[in-house]
């Protein structure tokens, strides 16, 4: 005879978790069956499954609830977001990322600030006229940060890294830097004294933003280097692959929670920790550990992403949030339309001007962003997702619940924009990208660009006169472009010398050969 040691509340939780796990499995299976569809991907599938499940729960509970689990923004930020961001840094192809580093920083950091300013100012002007309820200045600034956070997950599913390497690395890098910048902005706003706005407050805000950005990056790099040094020195793999994998996973998560402990940006910290660990730590472990960590990090990230989209689908039908806006649905629709319009305008205000600026600093015509590529970049960042949802819950609810009409309108508007942008834009993105960017043409252009860049660099290194360059036509650069290019090449060459001469002998990495004879067959790849 069995003994039931679970209380009624525990049984409800177990049943909810069991059903949620079954739904996650269903999302993966259905998403796999629809993988070759030109319209649907696994994340949109999870949204639809969540919506259907929420509708069924609403019917069975007679309209009382649509959720299996209560949303807690701490759950999102502490458990779901870290594996997604870390895997983004860990799996990233660093060559393309750092080759376009200046453009990524321009779009991800400066572009987010521009979008934040446009959305915050526009929200204060437009939402105030709609009379949706009382909102403070801090709320309007938070709205700017919330809707500046892009969701490039769906877009990256349809951009091919081999066919469009420039666009893929730019959209990928901008998405991560954008999310980190939006969260840093949001956290800085919460600490800002808005009772007296003056130049000192603005200076304090800028200083707080830069401090969070730089300190978070430094912490992530430090933890990544520490993990590389430990694994290089003690050779855990000769005893057990499990120990190497466990240490990498724990130290990656440690970087994130340490950032939270020091009130820094965990997103930036864990992202750069992932970059450093993939450059040094991963090359110090055995072959078995390499394969295991690659799949482990990717699997954790994938499950977290599916979980978030599934929950967003169910929570979209939560009756409590819509109860406050059912008496005046026009205000909710108007607020959603106004905010989404600001998202469109805010992104356009920095994509096209910054693309023009980036083109002015590039040497080759093939490396410049054409109009179709600029439209693709603009479109890729219009989707809003999990980060926007989590920040909105953090600002306008308490553990997923709200009792204020203005806050309820903001939550329902966020849900509406997330669903509309993810589903509608997600469905259109793949055919749109195929229409705007011919895969074969983009791939050929990237090959031509690479070959011409290599030939150009060889000619520059040999310092051949213009008359001996054959039919190759090089455009004369202005002094600013030449200075930036020269500086970039100089910094890169010095970094390679420093990395090969000091960093790799100390922290390991590619080219490191372990001394332990047990690892001779399982050491790092020599390539």
Residue ranges per domain, the chain? 19-31+39-62+71-437
Count of beta carbons in the 10 Å neighbourhood of residue 360: 12
Residue 379: what pLDDT?
Answer: 85
Residue 398, helix vs strand vs coil? strand
Q: Which residues of the chain have pLDDT under 70?
A: 1-12, 35-41, 63-73, 96, 152-165, 194-197, 235-239, 320-321, 324-327, 363-367, 398-403, 438-492, 510-527
The β-bridge partners of 398 are: 401
Residue 401, helix vs strand vs coil? strand
- Whether 244 and 231 have beta carbons less than 8 Å apart is answered as yes
Residue among 451, 477, 479 nearest 366 (CA)? 451
Residue 104: what pLDDT?
Answer: 84
Q: Can you tell me the distance from the alpha carbon of 488 to that of 377, in angstroms, rounded to the nearest whole number? A: 24
Residue among 144, 131, 150 nearest 332 (CA)? 131
What's the chain's Rg over C-alpha atoms?
25
Name the token pair of 182: 């939006």
- Whether 16 and 70 have beta carbons less than 8 Å apart is answered as no
How deeply is 497 buried, as exposed, middle or buried, from its count of CB atoms within 10 A (0-12, 13-18, 19+)?
exposed
- Upper half-sphere CA count for residue 128 (Cβ side, 13 Å): 10
Q: Can you tell me the distance from the alpha carbon of 248 to that of 468, in angstroms, rounded to the nearest whole number? A: 53
Main-chain phi, psi angles of 48, to 5 degrees: -65, -40
Main-chain phi, psi angles of 361, to 5 degrees: -100, 5
Main-chain phi, psi angles of 496, to 5 degrees: -65, -40
Q: Can you tell me the distance from the alpha carbon of 523 to that of 286, in angstroms, rounded to the nearest whole number? A: 5
Q: Hey, what's the torsion of the CAs at 400, 404, 407, 413, to 10 degrees?
A: 90
Residue 474: what pLDDT?
Answer: 42
Q: Can you tell me the distance from the alpha carbon of 163 to that of 82, in angstroms, rounded to the nearest whole number? A: 29
- Upper half-sphere CA count for residue 518 (Cβ side, 13 Å): 10
Residue among 90, 92, 279 nearest 170 (CA)? 92
Residue among 306, 302, 292, 321 nearest 396 (CA)? 321
Residue 455: what pLDDT?
Answer: 40
DSSP, res 238: G
What top-level class would CATH report for the domain 19-31+39-62+71-437? mainly alpha
Residue 525: what pLDDT?
Answer: 37
Count of beta carbons in the 10 Å neighbourhood of residue 57: 19
pLDDT tens digits along 373-416: 888 888 888 888 778 887 888 888 765 556 677 788 888 888 88
Residue among 215, 222, 216, 188 nearest 204 (CA)? 188
DSSP, res 437: S
């Amino acid at each position: 005879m069995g003994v039931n040691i679970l209380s009624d509340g525990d049984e409800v939780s177990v049943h909810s978790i069991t059903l949620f796990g079954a739904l996650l499995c269903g999302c993966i299976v259905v998403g796999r069956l629809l993988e070759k569809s030109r319209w649907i991907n696994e994340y949109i599938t999870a949204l639809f499954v969540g919506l259907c499940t929420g509708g069924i729960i609403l019917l069975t509970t007679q309209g009382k609830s649509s959720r299996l689990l209560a949303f807690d923004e701490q759950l999102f930020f502490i458990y779901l977001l870290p594996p997604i961001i870390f895997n983004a840094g860990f799996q990233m192809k660093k060559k393309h990322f750092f080759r376009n580093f200046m453009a990524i920083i321009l779009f991800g950091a400066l572009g987010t600030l521009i979008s934040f300013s446009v959305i915050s100012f526009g929200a204060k002007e437009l939402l105030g006229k709609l009379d949706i309820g009382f909102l403070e200045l801090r709320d309007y600034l938070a709205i700017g940060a919330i809707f500046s956070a892009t969701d490039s997950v769906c877009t990256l599913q349809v951009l091919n890294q081999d066919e469009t390497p420039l666009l893929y690395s730019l959209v990928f890098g901008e998405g991560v830097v954008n999310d980190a910048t939006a969260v840093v902005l949001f956290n800085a706003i919460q600490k800002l004294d808005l009772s007296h706005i003056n130049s000192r407050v603005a200076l304090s805000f800028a200083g707080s933003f830069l401090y969070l950005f730089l300190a978070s990056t430094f912490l992530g790099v430090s933890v990544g280097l520490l993990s590389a040094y430990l694994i290089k020195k003690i050779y855990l793999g000769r005893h057990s692959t499990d120990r190497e994998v466990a240490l990498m996973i724990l130290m990656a998560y440690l970087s994130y929670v340490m950032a939270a402990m020091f009130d820094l940006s965990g997103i930036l910290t864990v992202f750069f920790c992932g970059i450093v660990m993939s450059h040094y730590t991963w090359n110090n472990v055995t072959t078995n550990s390499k394969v295991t960590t690659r799949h482990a990090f990717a699997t954790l990230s994938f499950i977290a992403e599916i979980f978030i989209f599934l929950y967003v689908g169910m929570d979209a039908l939560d009756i409590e949030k819509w109860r406050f806006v059912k008496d005046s649905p026009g205000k909710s629709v108007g607020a959603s339309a106004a905010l989404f319009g600001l998202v469109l305008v805010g992104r356009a205000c920095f994509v096209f001007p910054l693309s023009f600026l980036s083109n002015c600093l590039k040497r080759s015509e093939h490396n410049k962003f054409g109009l179709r590529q600029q439209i693709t970049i603009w479109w890729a960042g219009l989707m809003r997702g999990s980060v926007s949802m989590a920040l909105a819950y953090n600002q306008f609810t308490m553990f997923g619940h709200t009792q204020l009409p203005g806050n309820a309108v903001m939550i329902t508007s966020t849900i509406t924009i997330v669903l509309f942008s993810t589903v509608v834009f997600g469905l259109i993105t793949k055919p749109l990208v195929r229409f705007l960017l011919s895969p074969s043409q983009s791939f050929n252009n990237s090959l031509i660009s690479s070959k011409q860049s290599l030939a150009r660099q060889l000619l520059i290194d040999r310092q051949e006169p213009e008359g001996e360059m054959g039919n190759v036509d090089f455009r004369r650069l202005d002094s600013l472009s030449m200075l930036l290019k020269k500086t970039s090449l100089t910094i890169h060459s010095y970094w390679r010398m420093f990395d090969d001469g000091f960093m790799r002998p100390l922290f390991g990495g590619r080219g490191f050969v372990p001394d332990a004879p047990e690892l001779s067959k399982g050491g790092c790849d020599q390539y």
